Amino acid sequence: MDLLKDLSKIKTAVEHALGIGLTDEDFADGREEIEHIFLHEACHAAIAHCVPWIHALEESEHTAVDELMARYLEKEIAESGGLFVHSAKEFVRELQRYPVDITMEDYRHLSTAWEEYFWLRQDLAGMAAYILTFLRHGQVIYHILPKADWEEAESAGVYKPASLAKEGFIHCSAVHQVIPVANDYYEGKADLCVLCIASKKIIAEMRYEGPTGEKCRFPHIFGELNLDAVVAVFNLVKDEDGKFLLPMGPSALI
């Protein structure tokens, strides 16, 4: 790499200028910082390759998505390689200097989506789209339904599925729960879409529930869904084995 050659040239220039020889021990105090900077820039480069549409974003959104993504990716690579990595608190402090308006609670929420869904699939484009959705709309939840039911809801101006009358709530999912739910309960079905719902815009009561003793809880909406809370609608797609996938790219999730 030209960059590594340039670093070697800097070392050689210092040695020649002063007539000394530098060893690895001379760089001990700065080695961690050099590795950290190099890893951080490598992560930005990887994001540029894997999320090409990020460059089309307005500058503040581009910065926020890029810097958040870099830190989630940096943490994974650093931990797998035994390298130094900042704590979540330090990352949030760094982000606020750009400024990226994010709290520790927000950072942890996004971390859950990254660790439990997107990183498992090395889906950087999907995570970038999810971050952009979060920055624009806050926390979002998802609901799977037949396209025909959504068309009916649009005509009626409100969404009230049969499950609402039967069970008293509308079943929803967090982003990492959508595909497991689709594959478990909608196998063999076609013409399905997913509502992306901004939690803060829901008029009815919403709360997370799950079986007693279970850690996995699902968001439930206890009432009709006002359609202005739906910030995006996208089709569920399948892979070559017939398993559902979340679509790639920003247009499906924002």
Q: How does pLDDT run across 76-118, given as a tens digit for each residue?
A: 998 888 877 788 898 888 888 888 888 999 999 999 999 999 9
Q: Angle, to 10 degrees, between the axis of helix 88-95 and the axis of helix 59-81?
A: 160
Contact 9, 16 (CB under 8 A): no
Whole-number average pLDDT of the chain: 87
Does residue 75 register a pLDDT over 80? yes
CA–CA gap between residue 129 and residue 252 (Å, rounded):
8
Q: How does pLDDT run across 208-243, given as a tens digit for each residue?
A: 987 655 567 899 999 999 999 999 998 888 888 888
CA–CA gap between residue 101 and residue 135 (Å, rounded):
9
Residue extents of the structural domains in the chain? 2-137, 140-245
Contact 68, 99 (CB under 8 A): no
Superfamily the domain 140-245 falls into: Protein of unknown function DUF952 (3.20.170.20)
| pTM of the shown model | 0.83
Q: Write out the two tokens for 126.
A: 């999907």
CA–CA gap between residue 38 and residue 6 (Å, rounded):
13
* Angle (CA) 231 234 240, round 5°: 155
